Amino acid sequence: MDVRESIKNLIREALLGLGLDASVEVHLERPANSQHGDWSTNIALALAKKAELVPRDLANEIKRVLEELYSEDISAIEVAGPGFINFYLNKSWLYDVLVQVVTAGSDNWARLGEGEGSEVIVEFVSANPTGPLHAGHGRGACYGDSVARLLERSGYSVAREFYVNDRGTQMDLFAASLAACVSGRDVPEDGYHGTYIKEWAEEIPEGDDPLVWGKQRALTAHKEVLSDLNIEFDSWFSETSMVESGAIEETLSMLEEANASYQRDGATWLKSTEYDDDKDRVLVKSDGEYTYLLPDVAYHLDKLQRAERLVNVWGADHHGYITRMKAAVESLGYDPKRLDVEVTQMVNLQRSGEEVKLSKRTGDIVELSEVVKEVGPDAARFTYLLQSIDTTQTFDLDLVSRRVNENPVFYVQYAYARIRSMMKKADEVGFEPLPISEIDLSKLQHSRELVLIRSLHELPEIVARATRELAPHQITTWLREFAADLHGFYHDCRVLGDEIEPSLTQARFVLMQGALIGLEVGMHLLGVSAPEEMWRDEVESSEGDG
């Protein structure tokens, strides 16, 4: 049993012994200061009022009962502050964790079974096929793919899907813009004016339909840059296909039969105010044209018939769209909780300390392909995933192009490369690692060593929480902190060397195997590669530098 669950069970047993409610959720957290123990709980503060005791007094009572319950993992228990209970663990549990990590390997450590094969469709990017993807699309692309990776790691069956809005006003304007360039006419004022329009128009074979050709050209561009980012979709779902199959009209009929729509002023409206929307929404305009909403409802109905859960990744301009979509889903008899909508905020590019503007319509577009080419796919992915998507992001093109510690992706990858370099050196000097069962891991006593094992132990819970919250930036944070601890280890501890006791070298070599596994798991979840060799712009001479 995991040591955290073991401690939680002991706390519940102590609560029962005191006649308190043992069904409450027991929270365990890492103390900010490791001198305050390995784990801490606030259970006494949570139950003090009900127990009619001062929190610290209740904490001491719980501690008294806990100390009567034997646990080989716990070396000491103390009460701190207003009523926190801190647990100090024997180091033996850490050594057991390291064995578990190395035995599981990167394929299985922090692999969870929560999803139990349940099907999830993650729909992301879904940009109109009216031009290249811009830099802002990169954030949703990397986020969506990393969310899919987290869900897969947690046992879900995941399909990545790109919804192609290939009909409607924007497509007509796109085709008109291409046609104008082909014929030498001015592009319509409300058309597309990016420089790519002229470039693409020159590529159109004589006699080809600008709309058909332009759509394929845009989709080809999308697929190329996404592939460069190591993002592959399982399906590209066309809006036009729903028109051709009659799915949109069928959805409209279903809404009418469910009494979820009505007619007014010649238009068809969704009764979205019955589901917490601020106003009813038009589905079909008075001229018979569909609004954006109706095909989107039909698409979500199709997805709900294919998967238990839907995850949509939308841009900030779609935030107001969430309520009406959930209203439509619920009006058709589906649980709106099956639909998660995650909204990405804006990305501000910087170069030389100045903002690089994004403008799709004026020709000043910064294409995603330019960003990937300039900084590389790993740096792009890692940077897009540095922060929570609900915050505006500043993307420093200069910083993430440099091989320095201040560049977060370099800092993490360099930590990995240092281990690989050390292992290569170990092989060159004839070091032979023993089977893990024959290694005395109790030789690992240095605080730098123990903090690495604790972090490896936390990784499965970090993955579980990041999956529940659809928050891959938590993995990025773990990687950065783990890399910092690893660089600190290299500063204070050597693995190889005649002055190092052979048994300590064996133990530290196992620790580095575990560190590799942790880094590989984290980088895989972000879609970032694990290079075996790297060089810094400012070289630091140290063991294992590669």
> For 16-37, what is the mean pLDDT?
88
Question: pLDDT band for position 358 (50/70/90)?
Answer: low
pLDDT at 538 over 60: no
Closest CA to 509 of 521, 497, 499, 524: 497
Check whether residue 451 and residue 514 sit in a common domain: yes
Phi, psi at 207, each rounded to 5°: 90, -10
- 255 domain residue, yes or no: no
pLDDT at 367 over 50: yes
- Lowest-confidence region among 34-38, 244-248, 497-501: 34-38
pLDDT at 503: 97
Rounded Cα–Cα distance for residues 542 and 372 (Å): 31
Task: Report the chain's mean pLDDT, rounded to a whole number.
Answer: 93
Check whether residue 366 and residue 496 sit in a common domain: no
- 37 domain residue, yes or no: yes
Output the domain CATH number for residue 373. 3.40.50.620
pLDDT at 410: 94
- 504 domain residue, yes or no: yes
- 280 domain residue, yes or no: no
- DSSP H helices, 469-501, are 473-492
pLDDT at 540 over 70: no
Closest CA to 467 of 80, 53, 114: 114
Closest CA to 458 of 88, 77, 110, 73: 110
pLDDT at 360 over 50: no
Q: How many CB atoms sit inside 10 A of residue 540's CB?
A: 11
Place of tokens 């646990």: 71
Please work out, in degrees rounded to the nearest 5, the angle formed at the alpha carbon of residue 96 by the alpha carbons of 525 and 457.
30
> For 515-527, what is the mean pLDDT?
98
pLDDT at 539 over 50: no
Output the domain CATH number for residue 80. 3.30.1360.70
> For 34-60, what is the mean pLDDT?
93
**What pLDDT digit, counting tens, does each position of 116-142 carry?**
999 999 999 999 999 999 999 999 999
Place of tokens 């040591």: 3
**What pLDDT digit, counting tens, does each position of 347-356 carry?**
999 988 888 8
Q: Tally the residues of the chain.
A: 546
Check whether residue 194 and residue 83 sit in a common domain: no
Measured over the CA atoms of residue 378, residue 380, residue 381 and residue 386, the dihedral's sign is positive
- Token readout for 317 is 């301009």
pLDDT at 546: 42
Check whether residue 116 and residue 155 sit in a common domain: no
Check whether residue 82 and residue 99 sit in a common domain: no
Check whether residue 13 and residue 128 sit in a common domain: no
- DSSP H helices, 258-405, are 293-304, 322-331, 368-375, 377-384
Burial class (CB in 10 A: 0-12, 13-18, 19+), 441: buried
Beta strands in 214-308 (DSSP E): 235-238, 261-264, 267-270, 281-284
Check whether residue 358 and residue 237 sit in a common domain: yes
**What pLDDT digit, counting tens, does each position of 267-314 carry?**
999 999 999 999 999 999 999 999 999 999 999 999 999 999 999 999
pLDDT at 535: 74
What does DSSP say about strands 235-238 and 157-164: parallel, antiparallel, or unpaired?
parallel
Rounded Cα–Cα distance for residues 46 and 42 (Å): 6
Closest CA to 422 of 274, 250, 542: 542
> For 69-84, what is the mean pLDDT?
90
Contact in structure between 225 and 219 (CB atoms under 8 Å): no
Contact in structure between 12 and 26 (CB atoms under 8 Å): yes
Place of tokens 């910083």: 399
pLDDT at 399 over 70: yes
- 80 domain residue, yes or no: yes
What does DSSP say about strands 157-164 and 119-123: parallel, antiparallel, or unpaired?
parallel
- 308 domain residue, yes or no: no
> For 447-468, what is the mean pLDDT?
95
The amino acid sitting at 59 is A
**What pLDDT digit, counting tens, does each position of 167-204 carry?**
999 999 999 999 999 999 999 999 998 889 999 999 99
Rounded Cα–Cα distance for residues 47 and 230 (Å): 49
Check whether residue 359 and residue 382 sit in a common domain: yes
**What pLDDT digit, counting tens, does each position of 216-231 carry?**
999 999 999 999 999 9
pLDDT at 545 over 50: no
Contact in structure between 161 and 197 (CB atoms under 8 Å): no
**What pLDDT digit, counting tens, does each position of 416-456 carry?**
999 999 999 999 999 999 999 999 999 999 999 999 999 99
> What distances in angstroms separate CA 438 from CA 328, 432, 433, 442, 506, one per listed residue?
62, 13, 10, 12, 10
pLDDT at 9: 94
The tally of CA atoms less than 13 A away on the side-chain side of residue 233 is 23
Check whether residue 154 and residue 38 sit in a common domain: no
> For 467-490, what is the mean pLDDT?
98
Place of tokens 């305050």: 36
Please work out, in degrees rounded to the nearest 5, the angle formed at the alpha carbon of residue 481 by the alpha carbons of 480 and 483.
65
pLDDT at 365: 80
Structurally, the chain folds into a number of domains equal to 3
Rounded Cα–Cα distance for residues 117 and 156 (Å): 5
Check whether residue 237 and residue 112 sit in a common domain: no
Residues 6+ apart with CB under 8 A from 460: 109, 110, 112
Please work out, in degrees rounded to the nearest 5, the angle formed at the alpha carbon of residue 389 by the alpha carbons of 383 and 393.
55
Domain edge (last residue) among 368, 401, 434 = 401
Contact in structure between 93 and 3 (CB atoms under 8 Å): yes
pLDDT at 281: 97
Domain region containing 396: 124-243+345-401
Residues 6+ apart with CB under 8 A from 443: 501, 503, 504, 506, 507, 508
Rounded Cα–Cα distance for residues 224 and 174 (Å): 20
- Name the β-bridge partners of 343: 314
Q: How many CB atoms sit inside 10 A of residue 86's CB?
A: 20
Number of H helices, E strands in the chain: 18, 14
Check whether residue 530 and residue 392 sit in a common domain: no
The listed range with the strongest mean pLDDT (48-52, 237-241, 352-356, 364-368) is 237-241
- Token readout for 457 is 């132990």
- Lowest-confidence region among 6-20, 362-376, 473-487: 362-376
Question: pLDDT band for position 364 (50/70/90)?
Answer: low
Helix (H, G, I), strand (E, B) or coil at 84: strand
- 334 domain residue, yes or no: no
Output the domain CATH number for residue 535. 1.10.730.10
Question: pLDDT band for position 362 (50/70/90)?
Answer: very low
Check whether residue 372 and residue 239 sit in a common domain: yes
Rounded Cα–Cα distance for residues 103 and 108 (Å): 9
The tally of CA atoms less than 13 A away on the side-chain side of residue 372 is 23
- 55 domain residue, yes or no: yes
